[in-house]
Amino acid sequence: MARRKRNYTREIELDPRYKNLLVSQFINYIMLDGKKSVARNVFYGAMDIIEKDHSQDPLNVFNTAVKNVSPAVEVKSRRVGGANYQVPVEVRPERKTSLAFRWILDAVRKKKGKSTDKKLAEELMDAFNKTGSVIKKKDDTQRMAEANRAFAHLR
């Protein structure tokens, strides 16, 4: 395959409240249709709920939750001689965080009946405590990679 031009990443400005890069990236993931103020309100609302109801440091809860959800290995399809194999590969750091963000937000958007900030706070607390659907998704991904370890040489 031919080499492609390097894809340069943009500088993301830090969020106003926590001055944290990971938080700003997550707010950008929450954002729909360019409505950043709505996304910020949702995120900060969830952080306020975590601080008030669970009396924990919300930034610590967020960072730990993202770290707990981030997968170490995943499987990629690789075609070898007419057959498709699920080959386990290590996940790059940028992809780890983006997968964690995506899984958390998918779980939040699937839930019904509450405001988004409450659902996000619940999901982050579940991930912080290593329970819930997001952790199950991570474990399934890891288990799939473990089951297909025999094909690791096809990398």
Spell out the SS3 assignment of 2-50.
Answer: CCCCCCCCCCCCCCCCCCCHHHHHHHHHHCCCCCHHHHHHHHHHHHHHH
Catalogue all structural domains in the chain, each as residue range(s) with its CATH number: 21-154 (1.10.455.10)
* Average pLDDT of the residues in 3-32: 91
Angle at 145 between CA 126 and CA 81, to 5 degrees: 150
* Average pLDDT of the residues in 11-21: 91
Phi (first) and psi of residue 90, to 5 degrees: -70, 150
Per-residue pLDDT reduced to its tens digit, 45-63: 999 999 999 888 999 999 9
The residue assigned the tokens 């890891």 is 142
Q: Average pLDDT, whole number, for the chain?
A: 91
* Average pLDDT of the residues in 125-145: 92
Residue 92 has a pLDDT of: 92
Residue 83 vs residues 73, 89, 132: alpha-carbon distances, Å: 22, 18, 35
Confidence of residue 104 (pLDDT cuts 50, 70, 90): very high
Per-residue pLDDT reduced to its tens digit, 25-37: 999 999 999 999 9
Q: If DSSP codes are grouped into helix, strand and coil, which group holds residue 82?
A: coil
Per-residue pLDDT reduced to its tens digit, 70-97: 999 988 888 888 888 888 889 999 999 9
Structure-model confidence comparison of residues 9 and 137, the more confident one: 137
Q: Residues 138, 73: contact at Cβ < 8 Å?
A: no
